[in-house]
């Protein structure tokens, strides 16, 4: 039985599951509001899908395998980045970007400011996470609430982390659903299921052209059922590569239908399609392959965030706000504004 008085007491200690951008934005704003925050992250470091992967030897750098670039349309997002990431670790990626229309003709993409992390996408989330309490390599498996209505989180190694009066969940929807269901919170999971748009997979291949590709553009979206996007990662600011590293993203439906394909076959398929679509004749000499099981939502969604007041569980993430980097910011910032409006945190944080 929930004591309704307690559901109005201000938040003092909050656990956040996931340290992608949404988790980091929520943590930063909660901390400013005087709340003690701990982030739990299953991977080795923060960043989530704003990910870079070390390139295979003899290369000495990394490539952005997840988010390729992001928009900064919301002035509050710019302000947040300037304040908490600084001005050195992100900047504009300028270049020629094209797409192929239904008739097969190449068109320029709409002019837009495209921002990237410098020297890699994950530099931004690294910078924001400095000073936050991020427990990396901890995969949360279950949530349990005690008589005092405080949450304890249990990780997959059996470790327990307790004393939180609220929990913010930021993993992609299938993982959030699983966490809620395994915690006996199937009503919340059901509610989630009504709202979610399924995330699609994305096979990613990174290829190296030692003498350059001669593609003549920095990024393109072909009219292809195999290849969704190709980008010259070495053309982004602050990269210092020999030759050109290209990032190829598989079509979402094709990736979904082929999640079990052997990585070598994925590589051959996407490379052949890249060469066919771009007309590039250079041959690459080095590769890496990565599979995203949850990359981007199939459809755009607009709930922003979820707040289950009785349980004091929040859900935030890009998939609740358009499915992109800026959506992850907007989702978490919207949650913080909601908590302020409900008197659960002070208004020291900056509402958006
Ligand atoms: C291939 C690809 C291409 C993309 N291209 C673009 C693009 O060009 N532009 C753009 O704006 N966006 C793009 N995106 C989307 C963008 O990356 C996301 O919108 C954004 O990074 C999502 O941030 P988030 O914090 O909501 O989620 P995430 O970054 O997914 O963060 C969730 C975090 O939760 C962690 N986690 C999950 N389960 C648990 C658990 N049980 N315990 C602990 N931790 C857990 C995960 O490891 C992860 O770090 C792309 C994504 C992919 C994969």
- Report CA 308 to chain centroid distance, whole Å: 23
- By the 8 A CB rule, do 179 and 314 touch? no
Residue 190 has pLDDT above 90, yes or no: no
Tell me whether residue 323 is exposed, middle or buried, using C-beta atoms within 10 angstroms of its C-beta: 0 to 12, 13 to 18, 19 or more.
Answer: buried
> Angle, to 10 degrees, between the axis of helix 21-32 and the axis of helix 325-341?
30
CA of residue 176 to ligand 1 center, whole Å:
13
58: preceding bond cis by omega (within 30 degrees): yes
Phi-psi region of 75 (alpha: psi -120 to 50; beta: other; left: phi over 0): alpha
For the CA of 22, the nearest atom of ligand 1: 25
- CA–centroid distance, 210 to ligand 1, in Å, is 30
Model pLDDT for residues 279-289, shown as the tens digit of each residue: 999 999 999 99
How far is the C-alpha of 335 from the C-alpha of 323, rounded, in Å?
A: 16
Classify 55-119+198-298 by CATH class. alpha beta
**Predicted confidence (pLDDT) at residue 1 exceeds the cutoff of 60:** no
Please provide the distance, in angstroms rounded to a whole number, between the alpha carbons at the two ends of the chain: 34
34 alpha carbon – ligand 1 mean position (Å): 27
> What pLDDT sits at residue 58?
84
Mutate-to-test residue for ligand 1 from 290, 318, 327, highest number of ligand atoms within 8 A of CB: 318
Is residue 239 over pLDDT 90?
yes
All structural domains of the chain with their residue ranges: 1-42+137-196+300-352, 55-119+198-298
Q: 90 CA distance to ligand 1 centroid (A)? A: 18
Nearest CA, atom 31, ligand 1: 20
| Pocket of ligand 1 from Cβ distances under 6 Å | 17-23, 40-43, 48-50, 66-70, 139-140, 170-172, 175, 179, 202, 204, 249, 292, 295-296, 317-318, 323-325, 327-328
CB contact at 8 A, 41 and 16: no
Q: 209 with 246: CB under 8 angstroms?
A: yes
Examine the pLDDT at 220 and tell me if it is beyond 80. Answer: yes
Looking at the chain, the whole-number percentage of residues with pLDDT higher than 70 is: 95
Distance CA 171, CA 63 (A): 23
Q: pLDDT-derived band of residue 2, with 50, 70 and 90 as boundaries?
A: very low
Cα 189 to Cα 150, 182, 214, 244, 250: the distances in Å are 20, 10, 49, 44, 30
Region 87-99: what's the mean pLDDT? 97
Distance from the alpha carbon of residue 331 to the mean position of ligand 1, in angstroms: 13
Which range has the worst mean pLDDT, 54-63, 80-89, 178-187?
54-63
In the block, which residue shows the tokens 């400095």?
A: 130
Q: How confident is the model at residue 136 (pLDDT cuts 50, 70, 90)?
A: very high
Give the per-residue pLDDT at 193.
73
| Residue closest by Cα to atom 13 of ligand 1 | 67
- Rounded CA Rg of the chain: 21
At 100-127, the pLDDT tens digits run: 999 999 999 999 999 999 999 999 999 9
User: Which residue, by CA, sits nearest to atom 33 of ligand 1?
Assistant: 18
The CA distance from 235 to 174, in Å, is 34
Using DSSP's 3-state secondary structure scheme, residue 204 falls into strand
pLDDT at 4 over 60: no
Q: Which atom of ligand 1 is nearest to the CA of 318?
A: 26
Q: Give the CA distances from residue 105 to residues 101, 112, 216, 275, in Å, rounded to whole numbers and listed in that order.
A: 5, 21, 16, 17
pLDDT tens-digit profile of 143-152? 999 999 999 9
CATH architecture of the domain formed by 1-42+137-196+300-352: 3-Layer(bba) Sandwich (3.50)
Backbone φ, ψ for residue 143 (5° rounding): -120, 140
351 pLDDT above the threshold of 50: no
Pocket-testing residue among 20, 129, 319, ligand 1, by greatest number of atoms within 8 A of Cβ: 20
CA distances from 311 to 60, 143, 163, 214 (A): 47, 11, 14, 56
The yes-or-no verdict on residue 132 having pLDDT over 50 is: yes
Query: Which tens digits make up the pLDDT trace of 8-67?
Result: 799 999 999 999 999 999 999 999 999 999 999 999 999 999 999 999 888 888 999 999
Q: What is the mean pLDDT of residues 319-342?
A: 95
Query: Residue 209 Cα, ligand 1 centroid: separation in angstroms?
Result: 28
Q: Which of 140, 192, 174 is nearest to 307 (CA)?
A: 192
Share above pLDDT 90 across residues of the chain, in percent, rounded to a whole number: 87
Question: What is the pLDDT, as a whole number, of residue 218?
Answer: 98
pLDDT tens digits, one per residue of 270-281: 999 999 999 999
Query: Which residue lies with its CA nearest to atom 48 of ligand 1?
Result: 48
Q: Does residue 6 surpass a pLDDT of 70?
A: no
Measured in Å, residue 281 CA sits from the centre of ligand 1 at 34
């Amino acid at each position: 039985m929930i004591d309704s008085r307690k559901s109005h007491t201000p938040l003092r200690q909050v656990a956040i599951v996931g340290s992608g951008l949404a988790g980091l934005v929520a943590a930063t704003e909660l901390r400013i509001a005087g709340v003690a925050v701990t982030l739990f992250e299953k991977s080795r470091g923060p960043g989530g899908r704003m990910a870079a992967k070390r390139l295979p030897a003899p290369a000495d750098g990394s490539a952005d395998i997840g988010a390729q670039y992001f928009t900064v349309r919301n002035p509050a997002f710019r302000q947040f980045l300037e304040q908490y990431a600084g001005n050195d670790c992100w900047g504009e990626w300028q270049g020629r970007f094209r797409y192929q229309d239904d008739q097969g003709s190449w068109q320029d993409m709409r002019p837009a400011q495209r921002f990237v992390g410098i020297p890699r996408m994950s530099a931004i989330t690294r910078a924001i996470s400095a000073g936050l309490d991020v427990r990396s390599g901890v995969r949360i498996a279950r949530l349990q609430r005690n008589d005092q209505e405080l949450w304890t989180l249990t990780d997959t190694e059996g470790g327990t982390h307790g004393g939180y009066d609220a929990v913010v969940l930021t993993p992609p929807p299938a993982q959030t659903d699983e966490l809620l269901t395994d915690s006996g919170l199937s009503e919340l999971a059901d509610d989630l299921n009504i709202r979610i748009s399924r995330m699609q997979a994305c096979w990613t291949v990174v290829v190296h052209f030692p003498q350059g590709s001669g593609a003549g553009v920095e990024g393109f979206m072909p009219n292809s059922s195999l290849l969704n996007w190709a980008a010259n990662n070495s053309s982004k600011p602050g990269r210092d590569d020999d030759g050109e590293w290209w990032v190829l993203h598989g079509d979402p439906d094709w990736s979904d239908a082929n999640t079990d394909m052997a990585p070598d076959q994925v590589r051959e398929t996407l490379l052949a399609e890249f060469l066919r679509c771009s007309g590039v004749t250079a041959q690459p000499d080095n590769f890496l392959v990565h599979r995203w099981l949850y990359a981007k939502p199939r459809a755009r969604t607009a709930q922003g965030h979820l707040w289950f007041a009785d349980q004091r569980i929040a859900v935030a993430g890009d998939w609740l706000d358009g499915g992109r980097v800026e959506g992850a910011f907007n989702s978490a910032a919207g949650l913080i504004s909601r908590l302020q409006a409900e008197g659960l945190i002070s208004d020291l944080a900056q509402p958006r």
